[in-house]
Amino acid sequence: MVNRITILPKAGNTTPRVMEALGKLKTGQGNQLVFEKGIYHFRKEGCHERDIRAINIAPGIKNVIFDLEGISDLTIDGSGSEFIFDDIVFPFALQRCRQVTLRNFTIDFSFSRYCQGEVVQSDETGFELAIDSSHFRAEVDEKGHVIFHSSDLSVSTEERPILLGNVVFGKPPWDYVFAGDSPHTRENLPTSYVETDAAPTPHGIRFTYRDGSRRLVFPLGDQLLFCYEPRRNVNILAAYSEDIHVENVSIFRGGGMGIVAARTKDFFLDNIAIQVRPGRNEARSTTADGVFLVQCDGTVSIKNSLIADTLDDALNIHGIYDKVCSVSSSTLLVAEGREANHGFRFCEAADMIEVSDGETHRTKASFKVIEARMQNDGRMLLTVDGNCSAISIGDLVENQTRVARFIFEGNRVSNCPHLRISDNGEIVVRKNQFDGISCILVKDLLRYWYESGAVTNMLIEGNTFENSPRSGAGYAITINSSRNEQSNVHHKNIRIIGNLFVSPNTHAISAASVEGLVIQENRFEGGIQETMLNIGDCTDVCIRDNHWPQS
């Protein structure tokens, strides 16, 4: 028997009706929550408040609209409806769910999630941006700080620096901006920064460089953007869940990641679009990655989808490095490498873990986890099946069990940074169209991000790369490692077969730290053969039957 619940279009806040409908779900039955086609607005009044501690999301209480904690056997069908969120809320949070399908709707917010402006003046003294105040909300206080607004969120440069980027990927800047005095540390930022004082102008804001600051000069007419949202939410989150399907869903705005799956088994995206709403004068869809997959297992697939105009990576799939805090004969106390991963259960009992030296990055030992206990401070105490006498504080721990068979097939990726891949399950990237991306980047990000995973079995086949890389001396496919040269961990068994590279840029494939590399039957149009490949520090390399450009 199917338990069907229907919601009809109606003016006003739909959130209380969603809360009521979720309360009618029945255990042991197939539940269907069906929206008749229409436009639905959601506000935080009446929503659930939940402490969500998922990976790479700012911790704290979130206002959640579709709060699907512990729910099984549910389909939410929008019937082609538009879901518009009028506050900063967490649209969908699936935690510890099984057999859930989301389909047939769009996700949008009624306000911009970043600030965009045009360079109307720039020299060694500073730069001025013209900002459409009807669309992007920013103001300057009397102390030279800039205050950005989205809905009821206000973020000031007095609290922290704000990331400034160029609408054209690959063009400067990609720097943090300090405006006015700020106690925020200048150390360990993931990119460079400038120090300024801000002042309002009739049509926007002027930033004047402080003494000692780096000085950037931008071409007049360049479109720059400020990303000020602190990744408080994502549009769709699946955490510690199983058998999750998202079908025929479009995402037009997001203050953070578009879709995140963390510690989720069997996760399927089909006919997804992450893009700017057509006709809207905005440069970015999400203010972070489009799709972010961490420590998933089973089968994870993305098919027949579009990812475009994301501020950060179109796709990121990886594992996690934890760090050893203390050691006894058969226990390891481990903590997240990054604060954003705080409280993340990166393993369970019966999982296999591998420990590497914190300095040389060479593997030391592998263990089976007998017990995994989360501590009150967010660290994990692991009891393992072996002697830990060789393990030291500061060593790195990876989960070798929670890895996915990942399929990325029949998609289009346009005007985005990388597809970052660092996961050691089977990986297939096949029959996709890449247009104006930086590259497919196969690389673990050990430092700062603590994203783990040497690739062990990867096929890149039948894809088309146009205008990729977008600019500079990069390569459309880039494979390397962030581990030290002393490490004995390398990528393995990577096959690049039957792809088409169409670009005036002469760089196609760069590979290092690979054992078993095949580059076969690819076609290169544009550039010259001598600069198409950059292969170094690889073993068992086979390059054959490729079609090189005419000199």
Instruction: Return the CATH number at 283.
Output: 2.160.20
Residue 414 is assigned to a structural domain of this protein: no
**Separation of alpha carbons 10 and 40, rounded Å:** 7
Mean pLDDT of 534-549: 95
What percent of the chain lies above the pLDDT cut of 90? 83
pLDDT at 475: 93
Report d(CA 404, CA 498) in Å as an integer.
24
Neighbours of 79 (CB within 10 A): 13
Is the residue at 326 inside a domain? yes
pLDDT per residue over 225-284, tens digit each? 999 986 778 999 999 999 999 999 999 999 889 999 999 999 999 999 999 999 988 999
Structure tokens at 17: 């009706």
Residues 6 or more apart in contact with residue 69 via CB below 8 angstroms: 50, 93, 95, 96, 97
- Closest of 435, 352, 441, 363 to residue 399, by C-alpha: 352
- pLDDT-derived band at 469 (thresholds 50, 70, 90) equals confident
Whether residues 327 and 347 share a domain: the answer is yes
- Of 48-62, 146-160, 337-351, minimum mean pLDDT range: 48-62
pLDDT at 551 (0 to 100)? 61
Mean pLDDT computed over 372-395: 94
Residue 407 domain-assigned (yes or no): no
More confident residue, 286 or 28: 286
Q: Which domain CATH number covers 330? A: 2.40.30.20
Residue 385 corresponds to which amino acid?
Answer: D
Q: Do residues 424 and 539 share a domain? A: yes
What pLDDT is stored for residue 336 in this prediction? 86
Mean pLDDT, the chain, integer: 93
Q: Among the three residues 399, 434, 451, which one is the final residue of a domain in this structure?
A: 399
* 408: pLDDT strictly greater than 70: yes
> Could you tell me if residue 404 is inside a domain?
no
> End of a domain among 263, 290, 312?
312
Residues 119 and 193 in one domain: yes
Query: Do 241 and 333 share a domain, yes or no?
Result: no
Range 445-460 average pLDDT: 92
How, if at all, do strands 146-150 and 153-156 pair?
antiparallel
- Given this model, what pLDDT does residue 281 score? 84
Residue 550 lies in a domain: no
Say if residue 385 is in the same domain as residue 462: no
**How far, in Å, are 330, 331, 341 from residue 383 at the CA level?**
6, 4, 21
Quote the pTM value. Answer: 0.94
121, 203, 234, 393 from 157: Cα distances, Å = 21, 20, 23, 37
pLDDT score, position 476: 94
| 551 in any annotated domain | no
> How far from 320 is each of 103, 224, 324, 390, CA to CA, in Å?
30, 33, 13, 22
Can you tell me which residue has the tokens 């004969």?
A: 329
% pLDDT > 70, the chain: 98
Q: Is residue 549 part of a domain?
A: no
Which structural domain, as residue segments, surrounds residue 196? 115-227
End-to-end CA distance of the chain: 68
Round to whole Å and give the CA distance between 24 and 361.
52
**Are 370 and 391 within one domain?**
yes
Please tell me the total count of domains within the chain: 4
Q: Calculate mean pLDDT across residues 398-402.
A: 95
539/430 same-domain check = yes
Q: Are residues 66 and 108 in the same domain?
A: yes
Instruction: List b or e across 465-496, with b for residues whose CB sees 16 or more CB atoms inside 10 angstroms.
Output: bbbbbbeeebbbbbbbbbbeeebebbbbbbbb
Average pLDDT over residues 70-90: 96
Is residue 278 located within the same domain as residue 369? no
What is residue 472's predicted lDDT score, i.e. its pLDDT? 65
Pair 350, 370 in one domain: yes
State the Cα torsion 268-57-76-409 to the nearest 10°.
-20
Q: Over the stretch 474-503, which tens digit does the pLDDT of each residue have? A: 899 999 999 998 999 999 999 999 999 997
Going from the C-alpha of 371 to that of each of 289, 347, 349, 367, the distances in angstroms are 33, 10, 5, 12
Q: What integer pLDDT is reported at residue 211 of this predicted model? A: 97
Q: Tell which of 263, 291, 312 closes a domain.
A: 312
223 and 355 in a single domain? The answer is no
For the stretch 105-149, pLDDT in tens is 999 999 999 999 999 999 999 999 999 998 899 999 999 999 999
How far apart, in whole angstroms, are the C-alpha atoms of residue 474 and residue 470?
8
Contacts of 261 (CB under 8 A, 6+ apart): 237, 238, 239, 241, 244, 267, 292, 293, 294, 296, 300
In a shared domain, residues 280 and 295: yes
In a domain, 408, yes or no: no
